Chain A
Amino acid sequence: MTMIFGVPLAVFMGQLMLGLINGAFYALLSLGLAVIFGLLKIVNFAHGAQYMLGAFAALLALEYLGINYWVALLLVPLVVGGLGMVIERYLLRRIAHLDHLYGLLLTFGLALIAEGSLVNLFGVSGSSYPTPAALQGGINLGFMFLPTYRAWVLVAALVVCLGTWFIIERTRLGAYLRAGTENSALMQAFGVNVPLLVTLTYGFGVALAAFAGVLAAPLYPVSPTMGSSLLIVVFAVVVIGGMGSILGAIITGLSMGLIEGLTKVYYPEAANTVIFLVMILVLMLRPAGLFGKET
């Protein structure tokens, strides 16, 4: 059997694949955070809870309404994103004129409410979501076995990430968004409906989180606390990459996932902490983040 630094190739590639999948989720979530931060200037602490809500909504929709995976993949982000828009319109907008730390605290409170309520209703232990029939099984690549669903997650996440990049960097709506990020008061003076743009942006960011949640449902146990621990890692990823660049968020997310996967192969004790250690290194060497602008 082929070995890489004393580890069988299949194991090595398997862990790398797992890392890449995790990285895809980091990328999706940090992308959503970056989009929201760009225009609203707040860090959405409820992002993890919204990701969790996405997974839960998919699970409940399947159990009680018989809505299958594919419909959920489309419907759940719309519903959760809509909820996000309501939150923006009626809560976040009231404090938009204040120090942006209040936005962080408000969304933190919302996350506590969402997580606590679901813990009470469904318990902390997770339930599993069945892998959709079309994506069961796997492909034998010769050097490793690749489960179809994991391949799908990777493709779907990449497509959505690049689609988001395309919308923001190459379309008229994206141009508005970027202009609003630079100077929203001036945008408003030009007659663009900035409040609506803000609501839509927050909704879009939340929808991205919910989409990631639905993607994650068949992979990880669906539990109320699945989002919060992930979110802290995503925060570290955001600090590493900086929130200034969309592509930067995607690249940082994926590469952090890979680093985590590699650590799991060679020094599993540090797998939980390696991303935080990378963050410390980046803070020491390049405080603005890998893709961040100096402030």
Chain B
Amino acid sequence: MVLVLVDHDHGVLDELSLQAVTYGRELAAATGEQLDALVVGADGSGVAGALGEHGVATVHVAAHDGLTDYAPVAAARAASEVAARTGASVVLAAGTPRGNEVMAHLGAITDLPVAADCVSVAPGSPTQVVRARWGGSLIEEANLHGSPALVTLVPHTVAAEPGGSGAGDLAQFTPELADGDLLVIARPAAAEEKAGVSLADAKVIVSGGRGVGSAEGFAPLEELAELLGGTIGCSRVVTGNGWRPHTEQVGQTGTKVAPDLYIACGISGATQHIAGCRNAKTMIVINTDPEAAIMGYADYAVIGDVSKVLPAIIEEAKKAKAG
């Protein structure tokens, strides 16, 4: 049996868990096993229908008075109970913060090894996995000695697709929790205004380097970032000169980012900067030097001085927004 740990937020299904279910279904099909899922918390039963459509035979629902919010140890305890009861050969979860966390607790409780961030799993003895290291900069092949095989899956390894012939039967149970299993439980903080977009999560980053010229030179970058709902990034030269705070530094010694759009203004493209922004989906470079190193990583380039090009872009963008 392949057991997938499915995450939800008070009944709202985690999309990435569906990818894990889809991958779990393929594993189960290959070995001729059944595909089950575990959801933790009574309010998780609402996701059973969707799981059935994705081929889950039985949806185990761990219901417990204390399980009102996310409680990682309790979740792992429930998982170990189901895995033992059903004789699971593989326990799978999404390689999300919660998926990895619960799986690690399960590994600690059962004293079994865990392979996190896998891109491929071949059950067996040992189970052979291929997993990401260094945030995907390296790929590792490894043997996982232990049963069940505890693995998490790198997000977007497969696309979530309905399929299979699972009934999605509900099997609610009350997990036996040990003392302290509910000691660590999430208390949602009161909703609050977020002060801008964080660099690591930003969808759009307008980043400046030496070519911006001064702290004051960042004014048009800020304006464009605001227009695009993004945030400011910068190179090491900039923080070194004290033009911007270190929190905004993109690169090997700063933050590694993967925005949808990275606009590199006056950045030559030192190796250490590239290391932080090479995962941008689209990169636009504004630079006076058509031979700058960063050109080799960019999708689009404007040759010119940042202080002259940016105001024109801002004006154009405002027009476009105004409709």
Pairing of A with B: no
B interface residues, Cβ below 8 angstroms from A: none
